[in-house]
Amino acid sequence: MPWPASAPLTTPRLRLEPLRVEHAREAFAFLDDARLHTWTGGTPDTLAELEARYARQAAGHSPDGAQGWLNWLLRRRADARLVGTVQATLSRMPGGGTEAVLAWVTGAAYQGEGYAREGARAMAEWLRAGGVSALVACIRPGHTASAAVARALALAPSDAVVDGEVRWVDQG
């Protein structure tokens, strides 16, 4: 069974654009910031690495087809500036249903404005309307901004910790 493709979405302040390789150059402007790796580790991708990653992700699924990949860029409607990303990694659950592991990134200059919450909420509503059974997020302990976004999506922390991140699960 094929995975769904990302569709354009809108919110009062944002347009969620399905990821395209052509987004890389523009997104690089806000993603090339070491502060964004405070909670995730690593370093920012080079432009070439970002283009290669976007080319892989734009396929919409893992090479073996076991996971669906949905990615959006958050574009502010007021000035058409990219401010962040949201994504969902889909997998089939044992016994049926689909789980989506959610993630979000907001450029450092745009944090604290509610863009991650607004974009993630639009994505979560779209996923739920499309029949996704369970939403999940993995968040480092102490990352209060991401925890607030997860709570806005009706997720709650579980006792499960994977690679140092708490697994937040759907309560909706």
Q: What are the residue ranges spanned by the domains of the chain?
A: 9-136+146-154
For the domain 9-136+146-154, what is the CATH code?
A: 3.40.630.30
Buried b (16+ CB within 10 A) or exposed e, 26-56: ebbebbeeeebeeeeeeeebeeeebbeebee
Whether 45 has a pLDDT exceeding 80, the answer reads yes
124 pLDDT band, cuts 50/70/90, is very high
172 pLDDT band, cuts 50/70/90, is low
C-alpha–C-alpha distance, residues 5 and 115, integer Å: 22
Question: Which H or E run contains 76?
Answer: strand 67-76
Using one digit for the tens of pLDDT, what is the confidence trace for 46-91? 999 999 999 999 999 999 999 999 999 999 999 999 999 999 999 9
Q: What is the pTM of this model?
A: 0.94
42 pLDDT band, cuts 50/70/90, is confident
Round the average pLDDT of the chain to a whole number and report it.
94
* Cβ within 8 Å of residue 36, ≥6 positions away: 44, 105, 107, 108
Whether 44 has a pLDDT exceeding 80, the answer reads yes
C-alpha–C-alpha distance, residues 14 and 116, integer Å: 10
C-alpha–C-alpha distance, residues 52 and 56, integer Å: 6
Of residues 140, 139, 84, 147, the one with CA closest to residue 116: 84
